[in-house]
Structure 1
């Protein structure tokens, strides 16, 4: 079944998308909500900046969908809650999906839903929970024509702490992306590889499933834009950036720069010039 909702996610001219993730409050980690304490103001700022989509939880999605008019960004709805980002870690670890998430997404007029596929060393039970969630969501997603974005995240223990961080190992990312494809993803949201020149292998593993590249932790503007340019050149269909946008001193400026790279093929220098203010 064709997922017509994706026509509201991907730009008609470039065929690409910029989704700004603002679902961090779902994960019960205080550092994640820095810069988004006032969600009403955050969503208003993002709507004015005009990315292709904003990724929100079921509790915050009405802030976007109550905005009148046809031109607001599309809604990507987060459908699961996990406690794997805390430092130190809680026990036991869990990843739980909202049972009626797809029907909620339909009522909220979402363009897609997002669910994790977590690979944590020493905790295969968390990946099992994710797979069960994906299979349950997949059934309803097919029934209602709702695109399912799977987020395969390969993680590793942070040195000197009990928490987890991103593992950029190419082989591990490729393997988990391939599993996401096998599970029936309509979209895949994947981390960049440590060696960014390897990213075409991630795109290859996804086959004809569009890959949107995850932003992860904060980096400087030029690094972010260069990385964006590199993954797009290797076949990525867009980006899903959170903290690099919402914790930026000028969110509207960095969105303008990213949109220029994603949709217009702008150079990094030209994109940096669009940011203005503090870099």
Structure 2
């Protein structure tokens, strides 16, 4: 018998939609990701006041959210794996491992998370890394089934390391759709997917998933470009966004959250969201 995931999903999604602010970058062991995250208590405090639907964190920082007394604070999405594909240099051995090999979601249960998230890396010429991810997901899926925990899978198709220095997103729609389909076949309850190079193709990602799709943000970009691109992706059927650096590395994260929430929950256009940001 599977315990229902409905209660936890309802904590994360508002009317079926979600802005999840990712702060789990410390597990990537990449210095450039930490700019803006130096003082985590202040970052979390500011985001709780900004009121996104969810905040994505690893176990070691999750207490900063869950120890807060507010009943209406954002839901916790917990990252439960870690790996080394985010560094600018190519490592001799590429790996992705669960943070707790024996009880993979015990920390998420302890912290009363609404969801757990695990990577599914597809890097050129790294079949062992891919195999590790499949094994991780298989183990986590079984634990999630047992305890009624929603599973978010993050399929990541990356370019070769030497193309742009560090493994960067490959926006090829066919590759993304194929890996998203695999994540769906493995039992994802939510899929966090990279945007396709052309936003008009993203509806195929949504169709392949058959579960709620949240768009992954990636590196920091010009905010007006981000808002317009986000609006286009949401219009294809995506249920929300998982953005990190485009929020926490911005000088006014609260205003960015307000603009993104308007896109997701109110159907604002990119230009309308830009106006909301400027008023924030």
Q: Tell me, yes or no, if the aligned pair for 1:87 and 1:161 is still in contact at 8 Å.
A: no
CA–CA separation in structure 2 for the residues paired with 1:193 and 1:269: 21
Residue 134 to residue 222, structure 1, CA distance change in 2 (3 Å): same
Q: Which runs of 5+ in 2 are unaligned?
A: none
Distance 1:77 1:124, change over 3 A: same
Cross-structure match for 1:79 = 80
Query: 2:248 maps to which residue?
Result: 246
**Residue matched to 1:25:** 26
1:57-106: CA deviation from partner (whole Å, max 9, x where unpaired): 01010010011021000000001010011111222111001222312111
Give the Å deviation of 1:162: 5.5
Contact 1:61 1:108 in 2 (8 A): yes
Partner of 2:70: 69
Residue 201 of structure 2 corresponds to residue 198 of structure 1:
yes
Check 1:161–1:275 CA distance in 2 against 1; reply closer, same or farther (3 A cut). closer
Q: Which runs of 4+ in 1 moved over 6 A?
A: none
Give the 3-state SS of the residue equivalent to 1:166 in structure 2: coil
- 2:95 alignment counterpart: 94
| Counterpart contact for 2:88–2:161, Cα < 8 Å | no
Q: How does 1:112-131 map to 2 (within 5 A)?
A: 112-131=115-134
Instruction: Give the CA RMSD over aligned residues.
Output: 1.4
CA 1:219–1:114: 2 relative to 1, 3 Å: same
Q: How far 1:241 sits from its partner (Å)?
A: 0.4
Match of 1:263 in 2: 265
The secondary structure found in structure 2 opposite 1:201 is helix
Unaligned segments of structure 1, at least 5 residues: none
Contact kept? 1:88, 1:161, Cα under 8 Å: no
Aligned in 2, Cα 1:277/1:34: closer, same or farther, shift over 3 Å? farther
Q: Deviation at 1:223? A: 1.2
8 Å Cα contact 2:255/2:278 also seen in 1: yes
- Describe the SS at the equivalent of 1:60: helix
Residue deviations 1:138-168 (CA, integer Å, cap 9, x gap) = 1110000000000000001254565211100
The 2-side partners of 1:25 and 1:7 are apart by: 27
Report what 1:223 is aligned to.
Answer: 225
TM-score of the pair, normalised by structure 1: 0.95
Aligned to 1:148: 151
